[in-house]
Chains A and B, each alone.
Chain A
């Protein structure tokens, strides 16, 4: 996790990053609400979420975005190498009271230009894409 295992000089288009499953529970949502200061009730209050037309409590889009990029950070070996990160939020991650939610994250190198590489992340929950055009650009130099 701390030691960089990827040879950054050998990064090439098409490289696959080690993917992972991020398991989210209601507890994770409360923790993120506190840490991020985004205390919107749709992320922790089930009756409220349903009252405003959601199927259930949903994860903060920014929690999904922030968790997914760890695939890139672990691969590149240093969070400070991420120079750009963008995504669209295409579907909510519904977090069940008992079972939580599993978000499957994978990444592929899409572009290498000079000392920069761009990784496209894929994040799905229950077979549905939850992030769209999720692109992280990292520095590969020294």
Chain B
């Protein structure tokens, strides 16, 4: 099955909430070697003006993995995830993801490009709190390798 270019422009219903916890932030921070105490000490976080501990800059992937599986689940996408390679990633932070945040994610398919047997699918996930305050925009470009090509 080939990637369906007609999924471009699609937006999926919001998913969530994902409740950001101190424990998950601490676990993720350790895994990426993030030693800034703003991830683990509420005291330090509050001294710097945050409501609670904040997440490292790439933490949004956790939320995406947890709730943002709609594109994978869309039977019309035609995407075989065993053929997907992560090509690009961008995070724009409107405000740091903070412990206690209840996050809803909305997935958009911004672009599908077919390039010499491959498909490049650009998705955008908007992360916002329950009352609509934007936290992060995560843009991913996935490269879906063509069927007739050997494994790389």
Query: Footprint of B on A, CB under 8 Å?
Result: 1-2, 22, 28, 31-32, 34-38, 52-54, 61-63, 65-67, 69-70, 73-74, 78-80, 82-89, 136
Contacts and interface: CB of A to CB of B under 8 A. Distances in A.
Interface stretch (B28-36, B71-79, B109-117, B124-132): B28-36
Interface in B16-73: 24, 27-28, 30-39, 44, 48, 50, 54-58, 61-62, 65-66
B29 to A, nearest CB: 9
Contacts of A62: 58, 61, 86, 89
A70 B96 contact: no
A70 B65 contact: no
Interface of B: 24, 27-28, 30-39, 44, 48, 50, 54-58, 61-62, 65-66, 82, 85-93, 96, 139, 150-152
Nearest to A23: B33
A61 B89 contact: yes
B32 A84 contact: no
B48 to A, nearest CB: 6
Given A62-B58, A79-B39, A70 B93 contact: no
A74 to B, nearest CB: 7
A121 to B, nearest CB: 12
B62 A2 contact: no
A86 to B, nearest CB: 4
B54 A79 contact: yes
A70 B33 contact: yes
A104 B93 CA distance: 26
A89 B44 contact: no
Contacts of B89: 61-62, 65, 86-87, 89
Nearest to A83: B93
B84 to A, nearest CB: 10
Contact of A35 (B27, B35, B36): B27
A34 B51 CA distance: 27
A65 to B, nearest CB: 6
A2 B37 CA distance: 6
B58 A66 contact: yes
A78 B48 contact: yes
A141 B28 CA distance: 27
A112 B77 CA distance: 41
